[in-house]
Amino acid sequence: MTDPRLPPAPRLRVVTREIDPLEDVLSYTSPSHPTYWNRRGDVMAALGETTSFIGAGGPAEAGFADWWRAVAADAEIDDPIGLPGTGLIAFGSFAFDPQSSARSILSVPWLVVGRRGGRSWVTRITHVGDDLSDISPARTEYGPHWSATLGPGALDPSGYQDAVRGGLAAIASGEVSKVVLARDLAGSLPAGSDLRRLARALATGYPDCWTFAVDGLIGASPETLVTVSGGTVTARVLAGTTARGADADADTEASLALATSAKDQDEHLYAVQSVLSALRPHTSALAASEQPFLLKLPNVFHLATDVEGDLSGGASALDLVAALHPTAAVAGTPTDSAIAVIRRLEPFDRGRYAGPVGWVGANGDGEWAIALRCAQFDLEGSSGDGIPLRAHAGAGIVAGSDPESEMLETRVKFRPIVDALA
């Protein structure tokens, strides 16, 4: 029975073929509207759009998972390769807040080029009955280098420290145990800029992160929201951050301070517990390490915990995305109260910052990150004056947080996207 709230599921024809090894996969996507997914050299780039589902609110509000099941069930798929990312695929990006004015989207491209484990492929996705005579991909040369203009947004460093004080008051009153507060930067790129250059800079500088470009959202996130592959569910929880030291001794001192910080350990525990609680109903076995480990990135250390489980009940990656978002790592605890505090203290709509971003395949497998270290580009609002952009960075506020220290943490978290935009 078709859900009348959902758009009708199109009948799609999907053909995947192995091709000679590709080096620069990014060059096969659009300079102005890139779609890209990369981590440690497992990479996909896409062109165009065969169909999409656009909804309001976050991943749980509009029925994205049900729509995708209907699309996959009716598709004619010819995929002799069977690797993650081959065959029918959709790329998605969702708003952080159900009340956000930003659109959430699940988009099925008409051409995908990918590379994984040394094998390369091309996928063509059309409507049943459309011509599928040629699935050869074509590269597009990169446009000239550019530099963004960037400055304070609606919440400057001083205002952010006031917001943190407001968060601490909410904690002291018992409204929340933790709240994650963000601040913003605003700016623009020159009209006609090749946005793939930003994705390439991020992928080169942060190879262990998920580099993504989906519907004008471009970034490199260190945090896995959830990965589903062959019945196995994995997630990586990050909460608790400190800047890297200027030399080896300072680096060691910074990592030791983070590892022994009671405040950061508490913040991290809230985030881990929120992920475990969300995944338990969808798994038959679930495990997480007892103690977090230190994740070393080029600019920061994070406290990190890996979670792994066995999927049960036929849930897809999209079902898990809806169940998990928002985690305590990007919202707080308890969730509904934390969202209310965020709405009260942040003078802006986060849009898709800190929302889920990733891809899903026909069998429900997929890879999803939390959209961090990113910028949102208004592709429809671009003009001769440039392409408007907004970037965000946040910090987890718990009892004992210091407003100036939290502001400095956001400055460190801004560095990957600010450096790449320069």
The span from the CA of 189 to the CA of 312, in Å, is 45
Residue of 178, 267, 346, 367 marked catalytic: 178
- β-pair type (178-189, 51-56): unpaired
What sections of 291-387 are H helices per DSSP? Answer: 317-324, 335-345
Residue 178 annotated in active site: yes
The answer to whether 242 and 300 are in contact (CB under 8 A) is yes
Residue of 223, 346, 367, 409 marked catalytic: 223
Q: Which amino acid is at 364?
A: G
**303, exposed or middle or buried, with CB in 10 Å at 0-12, 13-18, 19+?**
buried
The span from the CA of 336 to the CA of 343, in Å, is 11
Return the C-alpha torsion angle 2, 4, 5, 7, nearest 10: 70
The answer to whether 371 and 225 are in contact (CB under 8 A) is no
Residue 413 annotated in active site: no
Element (H or E) spanning 259, and its range? helix 248-259
- In the chain, what is the straight-line distance between the N-terminal and C-terminal CA atoms, in Å? 51
The span from the CA of 95 to the CA of 100, in Å, is 6
Residues annotated as catalytic are 178, 223
